[in-house]
Amino acid sequence: MNTPAFELAPPDLSAWRAGNTGTEGVWSFDSGRPGPHVMLSALVHGNELCGAWALRGLLEAGVRPARGTLTLAFCNLEAFDRFDVRDHDASRFVDEDLNRQWLPARMAEGGTRERRRAAALQAFVARADWLLDLHSMHESGAPLALTGLQARNLALARQLRTPAHVVVDAGHQDGVRMRDFGRFGAPDAQAPDTRSLLVECGFHGDPASVAVARDQCVRFLDAAGLLAPGAEASQLPGWRQPDAPHQWALHVTGPVVARSARFRFTEAFTGLEVIAKAGTVIGDNDGEPVATPYDDCVLVMPSTRQARAGVTVVRFARRTLLR
């Protein structure tokens, strides 16, 4: 795959780095009125800049919750500090992927910087009722909302009316994501009041990813009921983008996990391709052909940029039109 041009500069977070909670990079504002605790997170990966731009914008605009509590978290600051546009993948994490460490045993063990950072953030995530985790992608592609398997999150994605593609998936084999941690990963009957979405806003270096992140923040805060009447128009003008003309649910049926860094695709897939025929070979996994398992198979987030043993390089999905 060709590497897209990285055109998004990293935001200056120096004025916002300390936070107001005693935990670096974490801000929290309590309205004093009953309502949900909403958490917006960015920089879970240090080279995914769009969410950091959006959270900085919320802080600069002085956005405060009209009810409930709003927490904003710049997550992997150590990785972000290493950001170099000439080798941006190197700042995805320091020791290991922060978005695979959300298991109590891993956080308690604390053997890596990411596990220690997850432990420091754990209490904020555990207290949150709603979580929007802002990410971006290794390759150019349309934005995606990832809901997990919970019907409540799919219903929220439909309520937000964008992005156009909503991924219904069980997560990753190599660890638990933040958006699946604790109550967020529980069945609907056990945690009916929680909501959690992970949004992939586009390619890491595409300035358009910032517009997607801002749009998702506004929609999420509005859906949670945290914005005061008129706050969006007065404090965040231009943040809300047009609704998607329609939305597709992409029901992931399984991942393709690389055996090594030698995994290769047969074509330069960019994601959301619909492969018409079952049995179509789309890649080579250390000498084993990788073929689509059914007709009209959708390829979700194909990328070899982080390929190594145990890493998901693409997911297969069936799609249905959300109405």
Do 26-235 and 252-322 share a fold? no
CATH homologous superfamily for the domain 26-235: Zn peptidases (3.40.630.10)
Boundaries of every domain in the chain: 26-235, 252-322
pLDDT on residue 187 = 96
Q: What is the pTM of this model?
A: 0.94
Give me the torsion for CA of 132, 133, 139, 141, rounded to 10°. 0
225, 70 in Cβ contact below 8 A?
A: no
Chain centre distance of CA 119: 19
Buried b (16+ CB within 10 A) or exposed e, 84-108: eeeebeebbbbebbbbbbbeeebbe
Domain 252-322 class, CATH top level? mainly beta
| Cα–Cα distance for residue pair 208/50, rounded to 1 Å | 9
For the chain, 323 residues long, the average pLDDT of each consecutive 10-residue run is 85 98 98 98 98 98 98 98 95 97 96 97 98 95 96 98 96 87 96 98 97 98 97 97 97 95 95 97 97 98 89 95 91
pLDDT on residue 2 = 62
Residue 237: which region, alpha, beta or left (left: phi > 0; alpha: psi -120 to 50)?
Answer: beta
Number of residues in the chain: 323
Which whole-number Å values give the CA distances from 60 to 12, 57, 193, 197, 209, in the listed order? 12, 5, 30, 24, 19
pLDDT on residue 55 = 98
Distance between start and end Cα atoms, the chain: 34
Chain centre distance of CA 42: 8
